[in-house]
Each structure stands twice: as structure tokens, then as C-alpha cells.
Amino acid sequence: MTHIPHRLEVENISVAYGDNVILRDISFQVPHGAQIAVVGPNGAGKSTLFKALVGLLPLKNGRILIHGMPLGDHKDCVAYIPQREEVDWRFPVTVTDVVTMGRFNTRGWFARPNRDDHEAVARSLDEMGIANLAKVSISDLSGGQQQRVFLARAIAQEPHILLMDEPFTGVDATTQQVTLNLLDHLRQRQVTAIISTHDLNLAATRFETVMLINKRLVAFGPAKEVLSQENLQKAFGSSLLVMENGAMLVDECCPPDEDHHHP
Amino acid sequence: MNFMNVFITPLTYAFMQRGLLAGTMVGVLCAVMGTYVVLRGMAFLGDALAHAIMPGVAIAYLLGGNLLLGALVAAAVVALGIGYFSKQGAVREDTAIGILFAAALSLGVAMISSIRSYAVDLSHILFGNVLGVSPADLWITFGLGTVVLLTVVLLYRPFMVISFDPVLAATLRLPAELLRNVMLLLLALTVVISLQTVGVGLAAAMLITPAATAYLLTRRLAPMMFVSAAIGAISSLAGLYLSYYFNIVSGSAIVLTATAIFLAVFLIKRGRR
């Protein structure tokens, strides 16, 4: 077997807010172009892991290497799609403005966007099926459209690694489908994608590799092996219900759907 | 008296000319910086900074120095102080702001109260004295105002990103901390410049009211800034004429004009829904 260089290496990282340790001793390696679903109960530290991976949260210990270099050496190779509630959707910008922000790093912050940037933005909007919304104010978007704006911005960044925090939560069927199609395209382009989700079914059926966490790394590997009864019990504890026929249910409230927007 | 004379007569006085010029510049400047104050929810900080420069103004006044210079030093000290008290997480930032601005205001009033002409001086500092603008003040206002506006134009994109989506700013490796401090410094400069026209008591209104009105009328950042600037300039001009004819304090007249515009826009918008 030929050696495939790892694009993302996480070595023994711990992350804490003050004294409250959220993630402890997490280590894993992600090869070139892999697609990984991150699952775990509420409060398992999925968002925290993503924020640590983009350098938003300081590491208590351990290190993160991208292409063998410490985090921060590469300026624009990691794109992060946060949960939608993290920005103010009444901010006075249009869809194009937001997607163009993904290109700010290409030529310093003073330069006006050039033709390449405009083309990249138009392509991203097209790919996400929101070209018709280009000039719309972001305050007029539905939850699913907001999600697609974020996706378009991330594509416009042309990242090597794309992190998506709960992209399937509280969005319409079209947006789910657009997101899944995007994952297929990213696979062809060899972009590494790491996605957190509450949907174990989706993780099991659409992803070859699954990471199960609950503050610690419970299991990481092929979906079938990771999503075993033993592992799930370890991660979800008493909220896992095992039926006699072997079916497993996770009894957990999803985060509230904040999608009360009426255009 | 014909209609045009209403506008021209006051202009025959040099102090009115200077007042109108200073008022317009301050109106525009406050309105542009106010856009970020409104969008980033920094209203309390803006108000606090305005009050906190009192001691600096008072010391300059007592020593017969330049009021703007005194204000500038005080603003820098207070901005750093807020950062110092809230940095280790010892107290929340708004708590630190509250403590420092009340203390600075008290210190300023205490110093001024030692002067005999206390009441008049205090009211000038609190509510501005745009008709007392000297030619030198006008140049300082123009110079500092140009610096602030140029910086806002140059840093338009980074400021937009750190205000809209700090997470993206971090992934793009923007120096967010530095940019925030630059923004704070620009805000302090703006407040200092606005001392002359509206005083420390009303500076926050000139930061917030025109920008809040523009927010109701526009859907993109740059137009919001332009509309806000126009409202700030119109409020200053109209306010000064009102102050001239009705013999009311200029700062109040300017702020009340801005408030009237806000109310009109708000009610019209609401009526349309």
C-alpha cells in the first residue's frame, strides 16, 4: 500500500473554557480528501472541536498540523461553516457581499475584489442554487437560504479543508440535498470535509468514516465499526435505547430550530 | 424678511459660519462611526467614552490649554483602563465601563466645580458650545475628521468582516484584536471632536440616532454610511439655525432635530407595514 500523506493531524489536543475542560486528549488523522461525519451527544464538544481546528479556541495542550505545518501557517486553506445563529442576519449586507467576504484573503484587505473574485463568487452562488438571490438582503432569507449563503462563501474561499457545524439541522429538504450534492463535488475535488451532525442515519449511510466523540474520542474509523452498540452506549449512555430486534434509538432533543423567519 | 434671508442672515456672523462648518463636519463624522456603533451594539461604550473625557477637558480648561488635546488624552486613558479591568475577566466589560465612566464624570465635575464661573463652563462642556468654535478648533476638527474618515474607507472590508462575522475574521487570520482597538481609537477621536458641537452629554446621540435612522432606510453597509452622514449633516445644520432663531442651546437643537428625523422615518416605515 502506498503511503498517503495526512492532510490533517490532530495530536492529543485538549480544549477548555477556563477550568471547564470540554475536549480531552483527542487524537486523529485525516487523509487527503476524506469525508468524515462527527457524531456525539449534545455537549459532546463537536462545535468546540471545530473551533479548535480553525484556531478560534486556544489548545490547552497537544497540536494540530495541516499538511505537516502548524495551524495558522496556511492562510486560507481551512473554511468553517458555523451554525447559522452565530451571526446577525439583520446586518446590512447582500448575499453577494457575504459570499465575497470569503475572498478577502486572496489579495490583501485593501484591494477591491477583481474579476477572478467576482467569477468565483458567481460560480459559488450558482453551485448552491442561489444565483437569483445575489442582490437580496440577508435579512430576507429563509434558514435554508442562509445556510446556502454560508456554503457558497466557504466554496468561494477555495479551501483544502471544509468544516461544517450541523449543516443539516433545521434546514429545508432542498438545502439538505444541495449540501449533500456539494459533498459529492468536494469529494471529486479532493477537498477534505468534516461535518458534525445529529443524524446518525445520515452519518452511517453517506459517510465512510465516522468520528464518535463525547468529550473524548470514543471511536474513529469506518462507519460500520464506529456505530456499534457498544460504542454508541459509551458515547450516549442512558439516552441510547436498544430494541429487541437490534434497532437502536438515540433519545435526544435536537438543538431548537431557530427558523422562525417569515419572508 | 424673505425666505432666503432666513438662511443667509445668520451667515453674516463669522461665529455662525464656523459653527455651521464645525457642526456639519462633526455631524458627518459621528454618523459614519455611528454606523459601526449601532451595528456592533457599542452604544453604551460610545456614551461612556464621551462622559469619560470630562476630566481631561476640565484639566485643559483649568490650565488654559487646548480642550481637544485634554479630551484626547483622557479618552485614551479611559479606553485603556476599560481594557485593563476587563481583560483578566475580573469584571465584565460593561461593568468596567460603568465604573470608569461614572468615576471620570464625577472627577471632571468636581474639578470644574472649583471654578467660579462653574455653571456656564459646565454647561458648555456638557452640551457643547458650537458658537464658540475658534478657527484653530475648526482646523483640528477638519484634520482629525479626515484621518478618521480615511481610516474608515481604507479598513472598510476588514471592519465589515469583524463586525458581521468574527468567526470568519478569525479563519481569514485577520488581526481582529488590532482592528477592534483601531475602531475603538477612531470612536474615541470622533467623540472628542464632537465635544465642541454637542458636548459630552449628547455625543452618544449624534453617534447613534442618524445611524439608527439610516439602518431603517438602507440594506447595505456603504449606503447606510452615506445616508447616516447626510442625516447627521442635515441635523447639525437645521439644529444650528433653530438654535439661532429660537435662542436654544445648539447641542440640544441638533440632537432634537436628529431625533425628529428618526421618529418621522420610524413612523412612516411602521405605517407602511
Reduced to 3 states (helix: H, G, I; strand: E, B; else coil), residue A190 is: coil
pLDDT digits (tens, 9 = 90+) for B20-76: 999 999 999 999 999 999 998 888 888 888 888 888 888 887 888 777 788 888 888
Cβ contact (<8 Å) for A72 and B173?
Answer: yes
Number of separate domains in chain A: 1
Q: What is the mean pLDDT of residues B249-266?
A: 93
Per-residue model confidence as pLDDT tens for chain A (263 residues): 445 566 888 999 999 887 888 899 999 999 888 999 999 988 888 989 998 988 888 888 899 888 878 876 666 588 898 888 888 899 999 999 999 998 887 667 677 888 889 999 999 999 999 999 999 999 999 888 999 999 999 999 888 899 999 888 888 888 888 899 999 988 888 899 999 998 888 888 889 899 999 989 999 999 888 888 888 888 888 778 777 777 777 766 554 443 333 33
Cβ contact (<8 Å) for B160 and A94?
Answer: no
ipTM for the whole complex? 0.83
Q: In terms of pLDDT, which residue wins out, B81 or B208?
A: B208
Q: Is residue A90 part of a domain?
A: yes
Residue type for position A102 = G
Predicted model pTM:
0.84
Highest-pLDDT range among A113-122, B107-116, B218-227: B218-227
Q: Is residue A14 part of a domain?
A: yes
User: For position B194, what pLDDT does the model report?
Assistant: 86
Q: Which residues touch A226 (CB under 8 Å, ≥6 apart)? A: A210, A211, A212, A219, A220
Identity of the residue in A54, A92, A153 whose CB atom sits nearest the CB atom of B219: A92
User: For position A263, what pLDDT does the model report?
Assistant: 37
> Quick check: B222 contacting A, CB < 8 Å?
no
Contact A153, A124 (CB under 8 A): yes
CA angle centred on A75, ends A210 and B174, rounded to 5°: 110
Nearest of B226, B221, B203 to residue B163 by alpha carbon:
B221
Q: Is residue A170 part of a domain?
A: yes
Cα separation, A102 vs A79, in Å, equals: 9
Cα separation, A125 vs A96, in Å, equals: 8
User: For position B62, what pLDDT does the model report?
Assistant: 82
Q: Is residue A216 part of a domain?
A: yes
Task: Please tell me which residue of chain B has the smallest CA distance to A106.
Answer: B172
User: For position A2, what pLDDT does the model report?
Assistant: 46
From residue B219, how far is each of A183, B29, B191 by CA, in Å? 32, 20, 26
Torsion of CA B254, B256, B258, B264, to 10 degrees: -150
Cα separation, B273 vs B258, in Å, equals: 23
Q: Is residue A54 part of a domain?
A: yes
User: For position B208, what pLDDT does the model report?
Assistant: 94
User: For position A262, what pLDDT does the model report?
Assistant: 39
Going across the sheet that includes A216-222, the strands are A78-81, A161-165, A192-196, A35-39, A209-214, A216-222
Quote the domain boundaries for residue A200.
Answer: 6-250
Please give, rounded to a whole number of angstroms, the shortest distance from the CA of B175 to a CA of chain A: 11
We report the CATH number of the domain holding residue A26 as: 3.40.50.300
Q: What is the mean pLDDT of residues B184-189?
A: 87
| Chain B interface disruption, residue of A50, A57, A86, A104, most B CBs within 10 A | A104
Torsion of CA B140, B144, B149, B151, to 10 degrees: 160
Nearest of B158, B165, B176 to residue A85 by alpha carbon:
B165
Contact A168, A199 (CB under 8 A): yes
User: For position A18, what pLDDT does the model report?
Assistant: 77
Contact B29, B148 (CB under 8 A): yes
CA angle centred on A93, ends A262 and A196, rounded to 5°: 70
Grid cell listed for A191 = 477537498
Identity of the residue in A75, A110, A137 whose CB atom sits nearest the CB atom of B154: A110
User: For position A25, what pLDDT does the model report?
Assistant: 92
pLDDT over 50 at B209, yes or no: yes
Reduced to 3 states (helix: H, G, I; strand: E, B; else coil), residue A139 is: helix
Q: Is residue A261 part of a domain?
A: no
Give burial (CB, 10 Å; 0-12/13-18/19+) of A204: middle
Task: Please tell me which residue of chain A has the smallest CA distance to B155.
Answer: A110
B 119-138 residues with CB < 8 A to A: none
Q: Is residue A88 part of a domain?
A: yes
Q: Give chain A's count of helices (H) and strands (E).
A: 8, 12
User: For position A261, what pLDDT does the model report?
Assistant: 39
Q: In terms of pLDDT, which residue wins out, B254 or A67?
A: B254
User: For position A42, what pLDDT does the model report?
Assistant: 85
Question: Which CATH topology does B26-272 take?
Answer: ABC transporter involved in vitamin B12 uptake, BtuC (1.10.3470)
Residue A246: left if φ>0, alpha if ψ -120 to 50, beta else—which one? left
Q: Where are the domains of chain B?
A: 26-272
**H helix or E strand, kind and range, residue A63:** strand A61-66
Reduced to 3 states (helix: H, G, I; strand: E, B; else coil), residue B134 is: coil
Question: Around B94, how many Cα atoms within 13 Å sit in the side-chain half-sphere?
Answer: 4
> Quick check: B88 contacting A, CB < 8 Å?
no
User: For position B3, what pLDDT does the model report?
Assistant: 75
User: For position B57, what pLDDT does the model report?
Assistant: 82
Q: Which stretches of chain A sit within 8 Å of chain B by CB?
A: 51, 54-56, 72, 75-76, 78-80, 82, 86-88, 91-94, 97-98, 101-102, 104-105, 109-110, 137, 139, 153
Cα separation, B202 vs B107, in Å, equals: 19
Estimate the crossing angle of helix B118-127 against helix B93-112, to 10 degrees. Answer: 150
B 43-82 residues with CB < 8 A to A: none
One-character DSSP codes across A229-255: HHHHHHHHGGGEEE-TTS-EEE--PPP
Q: Is residue A263 part of a domain?
A: no
Contact A204, A210 (CB under 8 A): yes
Contact A261, A142 (CB under 8 A): yes
Contact B188, B207 (CB under 8 A): no
Cα separation, B208 vs B187, in Å, equals: 12
| Chain A interface disruption, residue of B167, B213, B228, most A CBs within 10 A | B167
